[in-house]
Amino acid sequence: MDYILSIVVLACINMIAVLGLSIFTGFTGLFSLGHAAFVGVGAYTSAILTYYYSVPFPFALAAGAAAAGVVSLVIGIPTLRAKLRSDYFAIAILGFGEALRVILENLDITNGARGLPGIDSFTTLPVVLICLAGGVLVARNFLRSRWGVACIAIREDPIAAEMAGVRLFRTRLLSLVVSAVYCGLSGGLLAHFLSFIQPVMFTLLQSTQLLAAVIAGGMGSISGPLIASFVFIALPEALRVAQMWRLVAYGLLLVLIMVYRPQGLMGYSELSSLFRRKKAEPVRRQP
């Protein structure tokens, strides 16, 4: 039972990070291969605060999320201002994520590549569920706000959006910071759940997993990525018997999704819309 519980908690923690990336990728249309680094920043900041300075857990979590947001400004301001092509942006943020990991590996306070053991495990299922529910609520309201609508407009057509008066740089930066804050929160919860963190846990592979959940779940959807991330966490656990082969299957799955169902599980729709009466499908330019 404990085992299943811990899988559920892990999946929910992962869902929070995926939710953040979904705002950035699924709704603003920018791809990131470095968001695991923001999870890492959140994890390390909050863990260091509770571990060395015995800061209360909620404040440490908030600090971790805030730190991730601030760090995202460091990469976001120069790259988004330069209006990089979207694939160049993905490579730039990949480089940033890797550089951040190397820095984490070489600081004294993070205990280097050996990792930080013995963090108090404050994260319980209710805490995670509250964070996740709050996260979904905030994301939903954010996407319905002026800013969220501006994000979606940029995804559909940056040039037309700019013509309509959307400020590209500011809106994209806001979306990046919001997504990084989600990732930071997820990192803080992760650190206080596993009670051990290591820089290796926040590499390009993890960034890809986050992005894969967003893509597999479907762009422009909140529920799709959440379902996909749950499956991505739970499925490998169910396949534990086949230890070595699960990552093989995972890689294959990514390729198959891209080849056969690029719109993902719930592309541009929500779970709740399945239960509503069918409205006329809006005409959409297929990518």
Cβ atoms of 75 and 11 closer than 8 Å? no
**Is the CB of 137 or the CB of 238 nearer to other proteins?**
238
Decide: residue 163, CB within 10 A, 0-12 exposed, 13-18 middle, 19+ buried: exposed
Smallest separation, CB 69 to other proteins (Å): 19
**Is the CB of 39 or the CB of 219 nearer to other proteins?**
219
Closest CA to 40 of 198, 208, 213: 198
Smallest separation, CB 211 to other proteins (Å): 7
Smallest separation, CB 140 to other proteins (Å): 25
DSSP 278: P
DSSP 188: H
Smallest separation, CB 33 to other proteins (Å): 8
**Is the CB of 144 or the CB of 284 nearer to other proteins?**
284
Measure the CA dihedral 124/199/182/97, to 10°. Answer: -170
Smallest separation, CB 286 to other proteins (Å): 9
Binding site for other proteins (CB under 8 A): 31, 33, 75, 78-79, 82, 84-92, 95-96, 98-99, 102-103, 106, 159, 205, 208, 211-212, 215, 244-245, 247-248, 250-255, 258-259, 262, 287
CA distance 51 to 120: 7
Strand partners, 197: 116
Q: How many CB atoms lie within 10 A of CB 74?
A: 11
**Is the CB of 123 or the CB of 208 nearer to other proteins?**
208
**Is the CB of 50 or the CB of 208 nearer to other proteins?**
208
